[in-house]
Amino acid sequence: MSQDFPLFDVNNEVVEPDFLRVLLHSHSFLEACKRASRGTTNRKRLKETFLLGEVVPLPDKPAQRAIADFTTLVGSFNAEVESLSYITEESIPYLANFLFS
């Protein structure tokens, strides 16, 4: 831990770690971090006391798990779509060569 990079312990009895990963990527959490940052130069620092005063949405554990699972599923779909997109883009030159050679 340092002044620039504070560390926090996560209470796994209250927060699902995978849900926390989703929450940390949300716009509302980013805005909370901006509100908790102070400084007069380009080196604004996150003030822990301000961040800890922010209220974040925390559904019950089953809902957290469902949100985390859904996010994982969406990520898998996204990876599959990217893979298929790459395959189809790469196949066009091969098809053109086959047709016009």
pTM more than 0.85: no
Domain segments of the chain: what residues? 17-100
Angstrom distance (rounded) from CA 58 to CA 28: 13
Residue count of the chain:
101
| Nearest-angstrom CA–CA distance, 17 and 64 | 9
Helices (H) and strands (E) counted in the chain, each on its own, are 4, 2
| Cα 30 to Cα 28: distance, rounded to the nearest angstrom | 5
For residues 86 and 75, give the distance between their C-alpha atoms in angstroms, rounded to a whole number: 17
Per-residue pLDDT of the chain (101 residues; tens, 9 = 90+): 566 677 888 899 999 999 999 999 999 888 888 888 876 666 677 778 888 888 888 999 999 999 999 999 999 998 899 888 888 888 888 888 888 88
